Every structure is written in structure tokens, then in C-alpha cells.
Structure 1
Amino acid sequence: MDDLRIRAATPDDLDSVLAFWKVAAEGTSISDDRDGVERLLARDPGALLLAETGGDTAGTVIAGFDGWRCHLYRLAVHPGHRRRGVARALLAAAEERFTALGGRRADAMVLTGNESAHRAWEAAGYAAEERWRRWVKPLTDAAV
């Protein structure tokens, strides 16, 4: 995609990002609401990256760095833009961000049953880490 542009999201993007995730993202998250994304941008303003083409959102990724680990979430590409390099461009931008911040290794949250996502992550050089399992504890009653 020649006109693909990657940029950090701003608070003005929140409603469109949430609507985008309903179309393009697999599954939902407890933080998929305006308050959750506002907290993300307040805590780490450059973390939510948007891929845009022709003025429309083509993809997103959250590239969060806590000073210790580099975490990738919400890699999502609009169905009409898949298999055109959008995910690859988003991951390259995320990895550049991590490197600039001093990050050493990126990890990604990927749904176990999302086979098409597995192929995309593998194509980008990521591998499933079978030695660890994610453990979770909901901190609110609204947890999904």
C-alpha cells in the first residue's frame, strides 16, 4: 500500500478506534471502552498505533512498554485491507518504538483459536511460546 501511514492515536481517535475494533478485531477485551483507551493514552501516549490509508483506519496495534517488557495487543486489520502489508507495517513501527525505548523482546497476546492471526504473527517472525501460560484475575465485575 503506497499511501499507508502509521501514526500514534490521539484522544480524538478514540470513538473511531472502538468502532474499528468491532469490525476488525477478533474477540473483545475488558478494556475495549472509552475509559480503557483513554487510560492507555494518558499512561503511554505513543502506544496505540494506527495505520491509515485514504483517510480511513486500515489497522491498529497497541505497542505498550512498561519499562521492562514490550507488549503487543490489538493487532487488527480491517477485512478489506488484509494481506496487503498493513500488519507487517504496524509491527515494524511497534518494534521501532520498542527499540527506541530500550526494549529487548516483544510479546503478543494472540487468541488461541485465531488461526489466521497465528499465520500473520509467524510471518512477522514471532513464535508461540509454549512454556508459559497467561494467568488472569479480573479486577472488576465487568471483566470479560
Structure 2
Amino acid sequence: MTELHIRAATPEDLDTVLAFWKVAAEGTSISDDSGGVERLVARDPEALILAERGGELAGTVIAGFDGWRCHLYRLAVHPDHRRQGIASALLAAAEERFVRLGGRRADAMVLTRNETAHQAWGAAGYGPEEQWRRWVKPLTDQVCSAARPDCSG
């Protein structure tokens, strides 16, 4: 098996990442467009972490740190590459980044219906905090609606 290469995304990767998420990620986010991902990488060039195998994108995670909290989003592994340690390698890279930046606890956005993700996150040592509920207010005209029940902001 080809060695796994972990690195930060560059602006040149963004179209590939967006296409990858359509295949590998569960649900859609209001930020899943060129402008959203460009802003992320411009603001925090190390936040979008990629895993490549054989020169092909195999997985992603967004490891955002706002100086207060460590947030994980878009942990996605291509269906053909699952159960090969890619998610674990991405999470290790994200957690190392958080520790380096002074982060103390990481949280993850995980869709309630995504049972496969629940197993992966649990295996990595993460667990739900049932006392919390996410409250959301869209700030643009791109609003999640009943017509897009997979929209997760």
C-alpha cells in the first residue's frame, strides 16, 4: 500500500476538495463552495488538512482554532480508502495542531443520522455531549431549508 502523505491544503487544491466532498462527505454545508473554502484557507492556511495516497486525495479534515476552542469539521475519507487508518491519521494531525496552538479540547460536528461517523469518532476517543444542542442562524441568503435536510452549516 502506498504511503499516506498528510499536508495542509493550498489554494490550488480547493476545486479538488469540493469535488471530493461530493463523493466522500456526508451532508452538505452552507460553506461548501469555492468562496467558503477560499476564505477558510486564506484566513487559516493550516486549517484544511489533506491526506493523499498515491498522489490522490484520500481524506480531509478541517481543524479550526479560534484561540478559544478547537473545532473539527469535514472529516471525510473516500469510500474506497475507508478502514485503512486515514481518518485516524487526519485526526492525529489535527490534534497535534491544536496542542501546538494551545488548544485544550477538541469538538466535532457530526450529523445525528451518520452512524458510520459515530463509530469512527467513538473509536478515536470522541463522544457526544447530550446536554448541548447546536443553535444556528444563517447569515446569508444561502439558507438551509426543509428542501435541503442534509444542509448542516
TM-score (norm 1): 0.98
Separation in 2, partners of 1:123, 1:85: 11
Cα distance per residue 1:23-82 (max 9 Å; x no partner): 000000000000000000111110000000000000000000000000000000000000
Percent identity between matched residues is 80
Cα distance between partner residues in 2 of 1:6 and 1:83: 17
Please name the residue that 1:5 is paired with.
5
Shift >6 Å, 4+ stretches: none
Contact 2:65–2:71 (Cα < 8 Å) also in 1 = yes
The equivalent of 2:92 in structure 1 is 92
Q: Give the conservation status (yes or no) of the 8 Å contact 2:2–2:54.
A: no
* Structure 2 residue aligned with 1:127: 127
* Structural mapping, 1:1-144, within 5 Å: 3-144=3-144
TM-score (norm 2): 0.93
* Residue-pair matches, total: 144
Separation in 2, partners of 1:47, 1:135: 23
CA distance in 1, matches of 2:143, 2:65: 23
Contact 2:64 2:72 in 1 (8 A): yes
The unaligned stretches of length 5 or more in structure 1 are none
